[in-house]
Amino acid sequence: MKTLNILSVLIFVAIVGGVSVLLLANSRIDIVASLPVFKDLTERIGGDKVKVEALAKGYQDPHFVDAKPSYIVKMNQADLFIWAGLDLEIGWMPPLVEGARNAKILWGAAGNLDVSKGISLLEIPQVAAAQLRAGGDLHVYGNPHYWLDPVRGKTIAQNIYERLVQISPESQAYFKANLDRFNGELDKKVAEWLEKLEPYRGSKLIAYHNSWPYFEERFGLNIVDFIEPKPGIPPSPAHLVSVIKTMQQQNIKVIIIEPYFDDKPAQSVASRTGGTVVPIATSVGAFKEVQSYFDLFDYNVNALVDAFQRKVQN
């Protein structure tokens, strides 16, 4: 048997579920994220010490993702699973976690990270979750689209950093340098985005789905109504008539919509109000121009500025 070079390879033996696992010291942490936005943030903090795959695509509705068998295979090998929590992925993710047969990523394990920890949540319901679910509501523990506020993105990054350090404490200084770099870059970009939208602070708009309270709060916008009567409930003709009346009475001309919704109801409303439908991104990969967390806000802020400028010109 050839002698291994112990300076380049160090082997740890761990027993997981009765199976011996050989972990090379110079190997990367194998991570699976539910959404591509978490993949991007994890890669920024973990750098070349992590290998990250996202299950959902950026153009998919994160509430409803087809739980493919191939996802179970990926999760079976993962050292860490990162997800949004707050029931965002409740319709598709639990069977994957449990079916992966990977003790490291089960609920409560060190390899299972709900990045909503420490997030200041909006729209926390005052009624029981079961009652909300019975009515078809998707946001039963508070609005789960918190990463759409870039400042709250710093809390997500901090959560990822702390868990990576827990898994690989010898790399703490490396992860901290990456975290500090990310936070510094994000602070500069937030100031830039706020400046661009400042002339339109307080502007009223309509949204298709209730994905945007954190974005709305951060940038001083005012979402007056939704094409959906409740999150996850398709609009009825009567509800669309109500939205049309609201837009006409309040002179609202902008409707924002996620890339995964049928835009026909929104376009119908826009055609009757002189409005415009503006597709904006909810995650990395939503559009070809959105390849990073920074791109997401660049894209959305620029799209809204263009739409508000057209409204003023008209």
Quick one: pLDDT at residue 166? 97
Quick one: pLDDT at residue 141? 84
- Nearest CA among 141, 113, 115 for reference residue 127: 141
Confidence grade of residue 137 (pLDDT, cut at 50, 70, 90): low
Cα–Cα distance, 283 to 281 (Å, whole number): 6
Quick one: pLDDT at residue 4? 36
Confidence grade of residue 129 (pLDDT, cut at 50, 70, 90): low
Residue ranges with strand state E in 17-143: 19-24, 29-33, 50-54, 80-83, 112-114
For the chain, the average pLDDT equals: 89
The domain that contains 227 carries what CATH number? 3.40.50.1980
Confidence grade of residue 139 (pLDDT, cut at 50, 70, 90): confident
Number of compact structural domains in the chain: 2
Instruction: Collect all residues with Cβ–Cβ distance below 8 Å to 13 and sequence separation of at least 6.
Output: 20, 21, 22
Residues 281-312 pLDDT 10s: 999 999 999 999 999 999 999 999 999 998 76
**Is position 255 within any domain?**
yes
Token reading at 235: 């609009």
Residues 167-188 pLDDT 10s: 999 999 999 999 999 999 999 9
- Residues 37 and 153 reside in one and the same domain: yes
- Residues 23 and 167 reside in one and the same domain: yes
Domain with 294, as residue range(s), is 197-313
The model carries a pTM of: 0.88
- Residues 15 and 153 reside in one and the same domain: yes
Give the domain-ending residue among 163, 189, 215. 189
For residue 120, count other CB atoms closer than 10 A to its CB.
12
- Residues 173 and 210 reside in one and the same domain: no
Confidence grade of residue 133 (pLDDT, cut at 50, 70, 90): low
Cα–Cα distance, 223 to 86 (Å, whole number): 22
Question: Is a pLDDT exceeding 90 seen at residue 314?
Answer: no
Residues 241-283 pLDDT 10s: 999 999 999 999 999 999 999 999 999 999 999 999 999 999 9
